[in-house]
Amino acid sequence: MQPFCMRCGNETAIAVVEGRDRPRCVACGFVHYLDPKVAVAVVILREDHVLLGLRGPGTREPGKWSFPAGFVERGEELEAAAAREALEETGLTVRIGRLIALRSAAGEAVITAFYHGEIVDGIAAASDDLEDLGWFPVGEPPELAFPHDYEIMAAIVTVD
């Protein structure tokens, strides 16, 4: 929740606005719409294997595997964010290809855009939020972090 009004600085309280609970300023009445956060994920394939990262401590679902991913910064293009996140997490420079899918889940604040990525340069090495990297057969993933990861994994055969 937004505890203070971004317009006047007074406290906010939850009020029903347009049929939903939303933070509203108790002084000026300004409604704070809590917009979703946009993330990007990169599907990097090598023959019939996919590159996944083992999520580290301090992340959601640590100890589980997921695609290299992260949040888009304000003013950043989606494709540029995807390339940046792939580089930060894997050490690989990738060319971002087509959009594979957009995923969201009820009750979640994140919308994730999945892109195909092609390795251009670099040596794969886990960093940033990842503890390890691994190439896994497309049809035999390890324990994945999120339900949408399983959906994307199942759809990968149509990526190329």
Q: Give the per-residue pLDDT at 34.
A: 81
Q: Give the per-residue pLDDT at 37.
A: 92
CATH number at residue 19: 2.20.70
Q: Splitting the chain (160 residues) into consecutive groups of 10 residues, what average pLDDT does each group show? A: 86 92 92 89 95 94 96 95 97 97 90 97 94 94 94 74
Q: Give the per-residue pLDDT at 160.
A: 46
How far apart CA 95 and CA 42 sit, in angstroms, is 10
Return the exposure string of 88-119: e unless at least 16 CB atoms fall within 10 Å of the residue's CB, then b.
ebbbbebebbeebeebeeeeeebbbbbbbbeb
26, 59: one domain = no
89, 151: one domain = yes
Provide the β-strand partners of residue 46. 49
28, 41: one domain = no
Q: Give the per-residue pLDDT at 63.
A: 97
Q: Give the per-residue pLDDT at 6.
A: 87
43, 28: one domain = no
Q: Give the per-residue pLDDT at 157.
A: 62
Q: How many distinct structural domains can be found in the chain? A: 2
Q: Give the per-residue pLDDT at 159.
A: 45
